[in-house]
Chains A and B, each alone.
Chain A
């Protein structure tokens, strides 16, 4: 079994508790206008030209974005840092892109990890069929779930997909006895309306098992990535999300989870 993955990062410290190894699966059904990982969108391996420098020698090199890796390789990488997970309360996180697009591989990888007593987390947009969602999430010990826009038309407008599937999957997830981390992107004038915040609040205020809420303020960091991929970025000139507004959002959600943080 193989998967297309665009990065495996050890010492991942922002995608769940402790020190983790994160697997970034390539391919995403959504196209969020603010996406800071444009290389994760296409499910195919892409070849880009990258400018490099060695002293005064400048050259460009063809670089593959994405790699097809075997389950065995993924398991070996998952196991490599086991000791570091143990001491820090970490584990592995399956992220993306949208990992559920390659759910069979995710299930196999999480099964193997669980057998090795490695903590598993999945970071998902929730955009998947109920069957795929439920089958896969069942193997994760922690779910990182994104809540972007509560109104479906707006969701459709900014991410190219409606949110019905996402919300119904979230409803199911609320019934499970599984620890949750809610992630909310803060994008000025898009996700941060009072109505949207209120709707998110209403949705999660009755949810049990929320361990923390991560508020992820928009940042310009992806400009270079879009350029490398020859993609246009409609938010190229959007300034970073204002710190004082992040602080206001923090106050707004502060009572809903034991930890609410800006960034992760």
Chain B
């Protein structure tokens, strides 16, 4: 990386995340001067314009791609119209040990004097909570589900090709045309308003880009360095051209995207920020043309991409409010760059630029943006192996996704084959038709909490309240089938509550928080004259995410084996042991942990329960209609909610102690998979991934497994096999010395950990402590 990029990268890494009150103050100013009107979309667009016209333009020395959401890198705005931080929240964010966001006194003063007094009681969060029913609130506080939209706007969307090949002036023309054709047929008032709002928003962004050009002109005047002067001239002409006009060069394409990205995350705080999606596909025509005619060098393309990467890293996720301010701990805003996969016509999409971007990922080694590779049966092994060689450096990227499964999932949901091939995965692992779909995550769903309630007849032992339906307790049921039937009843009950709540929330967003700017880029919002948040997109999907599949599988397997089949454990003694968190019942816990069937070992006795729970969850959710005119679907991913859900769930029959994390994604319970990675993949493939919108599987590996070309070949073939079984996603967690030290102290949680000894592999637990220490030392050495 050249010196300038190294410096920008260092600035980004060293920048301390802060809260900036700029956006909150501007939006407060706007709505103070312009009382809430009925033409909500128009007003939101005008507020957006006010923000863009008045925010500080930040251009750092030597930047190539410009645009910051806040007044400085990592200066993070707030969105009081969505959720309003209290002074206490600001204090927590400032003081918390991990992932703190510094809040200086001027921000606190602005909150106290202007922002809180204006927005108190008016935020979207206030509206949501007052619209929810008693049973929704009860289930929410019991930790049965979370709500995605209580602090952030719906988004979960990704740029498609429209964004990269259309200028805002083209879109303004399109709006005119829609107006004409719609007028002939007669349309409702809200559509006129939406179209007007879209025009205001588009024009606001054109003007905003010009402000950047003006600022660059000032820098040019004060610049004496000839090479930089020439760069500044190029940047000025780029900012005068895009995003008004469609980009024509590689540089213009990146800057064009970035302006729009900035706009979308300034308009509101949508989930997963925003995402360029299939970056190697979008940029390929520009790259190919310019490399061929000599106007772009590989080195300059690399520098531009690196500058682009740093831009993402400058933008931490907007900080949360309430209890989550204390719990939620990541700066990541989940922009997930997709590489590889298939072209729209179904050909291998891996190209020269794909490999160049992989090099950028490796060299940048930044938390943001996140990256993944889409692997189709048509992609070459070299592509997978190149990605594995980055994975082995141990920063968790890129992860591996099954393009052929994603396409099947999208087709099953009714997308056209072209829209499916243009899709991918975003956020953590969520399947979407990029550029044409609004696919919002609505909440994590705690499958284990539902089982816990079932064991207690609908009673929550933590809150000491009857939360669920009154079904027979564990001690009152005679057969496993009876128990499972009760579980299914409770499951359906809570999913119905959740879906009803979601639809009410979708309605609140449609009415109060249209996003005319984002709507410009997602097909067919403009053509439908309908906002993204109202169902304007071509496809609308609402996801519910099942959490803790491994834990619930192991609990059900233990219950069936010990309580119902062998009768070796009596229901009341089990409940008693659980209530006491196994204190005084350690041998019982050992029996549950070490001698019960466990998910992740390709053991039918355990795996049948996973498949069954998965199917029950699917049946309860899949195809239910949503307010936006789409349907509900499931996916199986936790982000970090398995930790929160664990913290509200007492001890369970799988031997998990109270309040400890649940299993994550579709991965086995931590340490329960003792038959190696192939057995894990075989188990994981038993659920029908094609009926989901994404599943998450995490595999721990010692770095030695990536050591030789031969080892990489084997991992590559293992990915191929898992994908042949329709597995959706796999990521490799390369363990470090610290993890091995933890495994030494707490062996039962790391029973799955295999290390390479010398010419063979063994379970870390089975090694003597001398040898363990040696391997720790070796691993520490290798990763340093």
Q: Which residues of A contact B (CB under 8 A)?
A: 9-11, 13-14, 18-19, 52-55, 57, 59, 61, 80-81, 83-84, 86-89, 214, 216-217, 219-221, 223-225, 227, 240, 262-264
Q: How far is the CB of B775 from chain A (nearest CB, A)?
A: 10
Residues in B neighbouring A264, C-beta threshold 8 A: 759-760
Contact A220 B761 (CB under 8 A): no
Contact B724 A57 (CB under 8 A): no
Residue among A10, A89, A223 with most chain B CB within 10 A: A10
B657 CB within 8 Å of chain A? yes
Contact B717 A84 (CB under 8 A): yes
Q: How far is the CB of A202 from chain B (nearest CB, A)?
A: 24
Contact A11 B589 (CB under 8 A): no
Contact B721 A84 (CB under 8 A): yes
Q: Known contacts being A88-B717, A223-B770, A224-B766, is A11 close to B677, with CB within 8 Å?
A: yes
Contact A80 B682 (CB under 8 A): yes
B771 CB within 8 Å of chain A? yes
Residue among B589, B682, B714, B718 with most chain A CB within 10 A: B714
CA distance A36 to B564 in the complex (A): 42
Contact B725 A52 (CB under 8 A): no
Q: Which residues of B contact A (CB under 8 A)?
A: 586-587, 589-590, 593-594, 602, 657, 675-679, 681-682, 711, 713-714, 717-718, 720-721, 724-725, 746-748, 756-762, 766-768, 770-771
Chain B contact residues, majority secondary structure:
helix
Which among B593, B678, B720, B770 is the interface contact of A220 at CB below 8 angstroms? B770
CA distance A223 to B770 in the complex (A): 9
Residues in A neighbouring B594, C-beta threshold 8 A: 52, 54, 61
Contact A223 B768 (CB under 8 A): yes
Residues in A neighbouring B766, C-beta threshold 8 A: 224-225
Q: Known contacts being A83-B721, A220-B771, is A13 close to B759, with CB within 8 Å?
A: no
Which among A19, A53, A220 is the interface contact of B748 at CB below 8 angstroms? A53
CA distance A86 to B681 in the complex (A): 15
Residues in B neighbouring A54, C-beta threshold 8 A: 586, 589-590, 593-594, 748
CA distance A54 to B682 in the complex (A): 27
Could you list 14 A-B pairs, sorted by A, with CB under 8 Å? Answer: A10-B602, A11-B676, A11-B677, A13-B711, A14-B759, A14-B761, A80-B602, A84-B678, A224-B766, A224-B767, A224-B771, A225-B766, A263-B758, A263-B760
Residues in B neighbouring A219, C-beta threshold 8 A: 757-759, 771
Residues in B neighbouring A83, C-beta threshold 8 A: 721, 724-725
Q: How far is the CB of A94 from chain B (nearest CB, A)?
A: 16
Closest chain B residue, CB of each to CB of A21: B678
Q: Known contacts being A11-B678, A88-B713, A88-B721, is A216 close to B759, with CB within 8 Å?
A: yes
Closest chain B residue, CB of each to CB of A37: B760
CA distance A205 to B5 in the complex (A): 55
Closest chain A residue, CB of each to CB of B713: A88
CA distance A81 to B181 in the complex (A): 59
Contact B724 A87 (CB under 8 A): yes
Q: How far is the CB of B326 from chain A (nearest CB, A)?
A: 26
Q: How far is the CB of A184 from chain B (nearest CB, A)?
A: 11
Q: How far is the CB of A3 from chain B (nearest CB, A)?
A: 19
CA distance A262 to B759 in the complex (A): 7
Q: Known contacts being A13-B711, A80-B602, A83-B725, is A19 close to B758, with CB within 8 Å?
A: no
Q: How far is the CB of A221 from chain B (nearest CB, A)?
A: 5
Closest chain B residue, CB of each to CB of A80: B602
CA distance A105 to B770 in the complex (A): 38
CA distance A240 to B778 in the complex (A): 14
Residues in B neighbouring A221, C-beta threshold 8 A: 757-758, 762, 767-768, 771
CA distance A225 to B768 in the complex (A): 8
Contact A214 B759 (CB under 8 A): yes
Residues in A neighbouring B602, C-beta threshold 8 A: 10, 80
Q: How far is the CB of A75 from chain B (nearest CB, A)?
A: 15
